[in-house]
Amino acid sequence: MTFYVKPPDGRVLLRVMEEGVNSRLKLLMLINSTIPFQTEGLIIDHLMENTMKDRISHFILRLTCLFSLDFKAFFIRAETKFFEERLSSYDWTDVYKMIQTLHRHLQEQNSLKCDSGTHTHSAIISQTCSELLQRKHLKHAFDKSHAENCREYVVIVDFQYCSSLVRRREVDLKSGKCYVHCGVWGKLLICFFRDLLSLGMEDLARSSMPQIVSRDIRLKSIVSQTLETFYRQSNLPSQSMRVTNAIKSITVDKESQFFPPCALNILKNLRHDHRLGHHARIQFSLFLKGIGLDVEEAIKFWREEYSKTPNCNEHRSNLCQHAWKKDNSRYIYNIKHLYGLKGSCKDYQSKSCLSLQSTGGKTGEGCPFVRMHPKDIVKVLPQMIVNSNGKRNSNSEILIEHIVELTSKGKPSEACKACFNAHYAAHHQTVNFNDESVFEDIHPKRENAFFVRSEPHVSEYGNYCKNECHKYELEGTTFDDTKVGSSSITDEHLNDRAASIGHFTKGLAVTNDKLSLENVSPDLPHDIEFNCPTQYYFSLKSRLLSQTRSVNSD
């Protein structure tokens, strides 16, 4: 049952189904995250393998994948890890039973007349299972002391059924066949699990299930709640946010106020040199694609920059010297390729932090917290952190010191998290003191946002209107500051206004006095988790957006 080849049947209470889905989602999110694994709040009943509840929760989440590609990618990744966890706790008899069940279920599935590629695939996996089902071999291969490089027994599999093992050079290849030695049979089963899961989803997408779910109000509600929880907790932009976040080539610089240091650094180099190295260009193109720049706008963006004369000196001699005029077809092809419109038609995603931290060259690509010397890191931090509040102050010094320290300790993700928190806090400060346009694109009704949110005393007395800077709103009455002294404004109004400004100023003084990040902004998102630069961008922007929204709806 651990391979989930057969969907469950029978009756189940809606409440039980919901409990199971929530528990499984929570577990998968824990498995998928980098935070320590805790089982608190999980209803383990729903996760015990070979039980009906386990199958129900798995298949309902599988249905959810039909409605979101993000969720599908997450689900395949997390379920595969879950399978890996389970497999690591098995002894050889458990593995034997598991393969036996898989073999039986695949045979049942294959006996149903079907000519699809899925059928062929599962027939081949079923054939490999029958080869694996030798007690003596399994006892040897799944013994706890069995070495990964052991080559005593071997099964032969077509290379497409264990492509990840081929990629990692863990099998011998001969005439398109892989010779999988017993040392990696566990990994072979993981490949099978992932393949069968993906194929099962393809079958599901081809079936009538998407229409059934769309028509069934109960299933529809479970699916939408699941997706809502998933997007909220994973800090991923929801599909609707991606659509509304369509950015233009001319707004890239403005959006850069939410960029992580890796993307900021590349943008800075690009604006200075008008050219990038190959890897930096790919990294930045995928980042821009991930945050909502469509292919036409991407072509415009690169055309504009690459039409300029390159500004390269001898230290940057490895930079590309091509020009748009001469090489435009090549560049357009490359951009379309990244958007999945040319060549292999693969829909490339923004690179993960892990991958960027393990690569990096001289032309600005990769993660700066790994690639740069800690004392130079300040050069790539968002300007608003460095010059928080318009000038470098004691808060900025402390934040930067903290980030530099984490960088020099070789903790790039921690350093970037600290940078995110400082970036978030600085946004509030900037909105607070200087920059009225920060939220322009985020929320049209931004007036009063920071003032109400950041300093509760202000809202008690009145809100300062940022759009029309002479007007004050006092307990529902708007009056014009330019009319001070006129009979329409009473002393009481003026006293209240003075009190509100007094409280507000006091609040700022406290903020500037206490030299810790927590005191800069008490709502810092300490739970922040991001795995790629795109998530950094969306997490920052959406958190600021939700703050603004909640303030405006108060």
Residue ranges in contact with ligand SF4 by CB under 6 A: 260-262, 353, 356, 367-369, 412-413, 416, 533, 536
Smallest separation, CB 388 to ligand SF4 (Å): 19
Closest CB to ligand SF4 among residues 297, 365: 365
Smallest separation, CB 192 to ligand SF4 (Å): 32
Longest CA span, the chain: 99
Smallest separation, CB 455 to ligand SF4 (Å): 31
Smallest separation, CB 266 to ligand SF4 (Å): 10
Smallest separation, CB 394 to ligand SF4 (Å): 25
Smallest separation, CB 353 to ligand SF4 (Å): 3
Smallest separation, CB 508 to ligand SF4 (Å): 30
Calculate the CA 429 to chain-centre distance.
Answer: 26
Smallest separation, CB 422 to ligand SF4 (Å): 13
How large is the C-alpha radius of gyration of the chain? Answer: 28
Smallest separation, CB 117 to ligand SF4 (Å): 37
Taking alpha carbons only, the member of 550, 544, 448, 543 closest to residue 235 is 543
Rounded Cα distance between 118 and 341, Å, is: 26
Closest CB to ligand SF4 among residues 305, 365: 365
Q: Contact 245/237 with Cβ under 8 angstroms? A: yes
Alpha helices in 245-343 (DSSP H): 252-255, 261-273, 278-291, 295-306, 324-338
Closest CB to ligand SF4 among residues 407, 547: 407
Cβ count near 316 (within 10 Å): 17
- The pairing of strands 172-174 and 477-480 is unpaired
Rounded Cα distance between 122 and 120, Å, is: 6
The one-letter amino acid code at 425 reads A
Q: Contact 312/353 with Cβ under 8 angstroms? A: no
Closest CB to ligand SF4 among residues 237, 368: 368
Closest CB to ligand SF4 among residues 198, 408: 408
Closest CB to ligand SF4 among residues 416, 489: 416
**Planar angle of CA 69, 196, 108, nearest 5 degrees:** 135
Taking alpha carbons only, the member of 450, 458, 420 closest to residue 434 is 450
Closest CB to ligand SF4 among residues 511, 539: 539
Closest CB to ligand SF4 among residues 106, 406: 406
Dihedral pair phi/psi, residue 251, rounded to 5°: -100, 5
Rounded Cα distance between 347 and 175, Å, is: 30
User: DSSP string covering 143-185, please?
Assistant: -TT--TT--SSEEEEEGGGGHHHHHTT-SEEETTEEEEEGGGH
Closest CB to ligand SF4 among residues 274, 351: 351
